[in-house]
Amino acid sequence: MRRSIAVVIHPGFQLLDAAGPTTAFEIAERFRPGSYDLTLLAPGGGEVESSSGVKLASKPLKHGPFDTIIVSGGEIVRSMPALQDILAWLKRAKPRRVASVCSGAFILAEAGLLEGRRATTHWESTDHFRRRYPNVTLDADRIFIRDGNVWTSAGISAGIDLALALIEDDLGPEVARRTAQQLVVHRRRPGGQSQFSGLVELGGRTGRFSKLIAWMGEHLAEPLTVEQLADRAAMSPRHFARAFVAEMGTTPAKAVERMRLEFARMAIETGHAPLEHIAEASGFGDPGRMRRAFVRAFGLPPQALRRTART
């Protein structure tokens, strides 16, 4: 079965948003000839300049039919007429699947395709996205998310992760695995995009709490109460809690849980230590508490994440 894939670009698009998925589908086609037909589309067609200045040739937007439409991110407001053309076209198109890479999620949301759905986008844009589209449930830590026939992915290189997942959905895990090997990437990348965001590592928006955050990371097994953290920061608990939220965009308790989750998930996905040991070392105390935190954050228990990372 041959599947038609349309990758939509626009003036100021991020080059890797288009090139990454396109290359993944090209390689999958080598392993299963006759699987994919790739088309690069843009408003008006012709050469389209990316954010880097490199231009790609495209065909004009058309109705298709297309099995899958992938919308690239980048400088999505460089040309408002082009953006409006894409939005109108997306509303008319009826693909089996629609997907976005990076800030392309803003285009899907603006077209109404993410209303009431779960989605992700680049970690740096999450606050803006949540304010603009409150009816979309944004999970800022996921590399990609599938909600029904709508797929969204995180920043830039995550378009490759997205494409591998789409390939697996079409052709099975073996072709996806071989494609990932050819690309020299993980078939399923360990961890979420929060490990790449730098928010925790930098200590917040200005780095005010960078030393405190580094200390927290070295003492996750301790209680790390607000009082303990405030004392470490030489502030009163009330003043510290307010300043921390203003700087980090989250409460001290949620920041501690996030750091524990990141530590525990990395240990679970990349190591062989028993869950009891990981729960203790990360500060969750017991596997049950860690399991509940994982289900809240990732929708899966630790055992499932470990199995997924090893397939």
The tens place of each residue's pLDDT in the chain, 311 residues long, gives 899 999 999 999 999 999 999 999 999 999 999 999 999 999 999 999 999 999 999 999 986 789 999 999 999 888 999 999 999 999 999 999 999 999 999 999 999 999 999 999 988 888 899 999 999 998 877 888 999 999 999 988 899 999 999 999 999 989 998 999 999 886 666 555 554 454 444 456 677 888 898 899 889 999 999 999 999 999 999 999 999 988 887 889 988 998 898 889 888 877 789 999 999 999 999 999 999 998 887 778 999 888 866 65
Contacts of 62 (CB under 8 A, 6+ apart): 41
**272 domain residue, yes or no:** yes
Measure Cα distances from 158 to 63, 89, 122 in Å: 27, 25, 9
Is residue 50 located within the same domain as residue 174? yes
Q: What does the block give as tokens for 253?
A: 């308790």
Answer yes or no: do 174 and 216 share one domain: no
For residues 44 and 115, state if they share a domain.
yes
Residue 7: strand pairing partners: 40, 70
Domain match, 135 and 225 both: no
Whole-number pLDDT of residue 295:
86
Global pTM value:
0.68
List phi, psi (to 5°) of 180. -65, -40
Identify whether residues 127 and 260 lie together within a single domain: no
Query: In terms of domains, do 71 and 106 share one?
Result: yes
Domain around 250:
198-309
Is residue 191 one of the residues assigned to a domain?
Answer: no
In this structure, what token pair is assigned to residue 36? 């994919």
Measured torsion, CA atoms of residues 156, 117, 295, 199, in degrees rounded to the nearest 10: 40
Instruction: Give the pLDDT of residue 167.
Output: 95
Look at the alpha carbons of 89, 3, 9, 44 in this order and tell me if their dihedral is positive or negative.
Answer: negative
One domain, residues 83 and 210: no
Question: Would you say how long the chain is, in residues?
Answer: 311
List the beta strands (DSSP E) in 127-243. 137-138, 144-147, 150-153
Q: 132, 160, 183: which is the final residue of a domain?
A: 183
Instruction: State which of 152, 183, 214 marks the end of a domain.
Output: 183
Q: Are residues 145 and 294 in the same domain?
A: no
- Residue 192 located in a structural domain: no
C-alpha to C-alpha distance for 291 and 295, rounded to whole angstroms: 6
Whether the CB-CB separation of 2 and 34 falls below 8 Å is answered with yes
Residue 225's CATH number:
1.10.10.60
Residues 80 and 169 placed together within one structural domain of the fold:
yes
Q: Is residue 265 classed as helix, strand or coil in its secondary structure? A: helix
If asked whether residues 60 and 151 sit together in one domain, one would say: yes
Beta strand 46-49 with 68-71: parallel, antiparallel or unpaired?
Answer: unpaired
| CATH number, domain with residue 147 | 3.40.50.880
205 with 301, same domain: the answer is: yes
Residue 277 lies in a domain: yes
Domains in the chain, number: 2
Domain boundary among 139, 156, 183: 183
pLDDT at 58: 97
Q: What is the amino acid identity at position 156?
A: I
